[in-house]
């Protein structure tokens, strides 16, 4: 999995194509992520007074497949593929394929 929580990503295909957002959760076993304000769905919920949940229709984010997303480099601000750069001390970090910048 080349995506991590708090990465900024852009959607490549589907109904939300072109939208940018921050990753809120990574579901590695299903190869999906939840992106802020992208792929919104409506859920009908039942009221639960113990958890202070009001009933009604609630909008929330649904998971998106990883292959529909591309990381936006924080340095060059361009959607890019993710590579790995080996540091002098031998550690590997994620790097932008275009500007060779550190992805965090």
pLDDT digits (tens, 9 = 90+) for 31-85: 999 999 999 999 999 999 999 999 999 999 999 999 999 999 999 999 999 999 9
Match 């497949």 to its residue by tokens. 65
Please state which CATH number belongs to domain 1-44+57-72: 2.30.30.30
pLDDT over threshold 80, residue 104:
no
Whole-number pLDDT of residue 26: 97
Whole-number pLDDT of residue 15: 95
Q: pTM of the prediction?
A: 0.87
- Nearest Cα to 11, choosing from 58, 67, 53? 67
- The sign of the dihedral angle between the CA atoms of 4, 21, 102, 68 is positive
Match 């579901």 to its residue by tokens. 27
- The whole-number average pLDDT for the span 10-32 is 97
Whole-number pLDDT of residue 38: 96
Whole-number pLDDT of residue 95: 94
């Amino acid at each position: 999995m080349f995506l991590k929580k708090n990465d900024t990503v852009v959607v490549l295909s589907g109904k939300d194509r072109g939208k940018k957002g921050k990753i809120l959760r990574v579901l590695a076993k299903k190869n999906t992520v939840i992106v802020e304000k992208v792929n919104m769905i409506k859920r009908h919920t039942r009221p639960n007074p113990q958890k202070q949940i009001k009933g009604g229709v609630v909008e929330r984010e649904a998971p998106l497949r990883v292959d529909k997303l591309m990381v936006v480099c924080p340095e060059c601000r361009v959607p890019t593929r993710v590579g790995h750069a080996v540091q002098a001390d031998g550690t590997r970090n994620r790097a932008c394929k275009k500007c060779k910048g550190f992805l965090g």
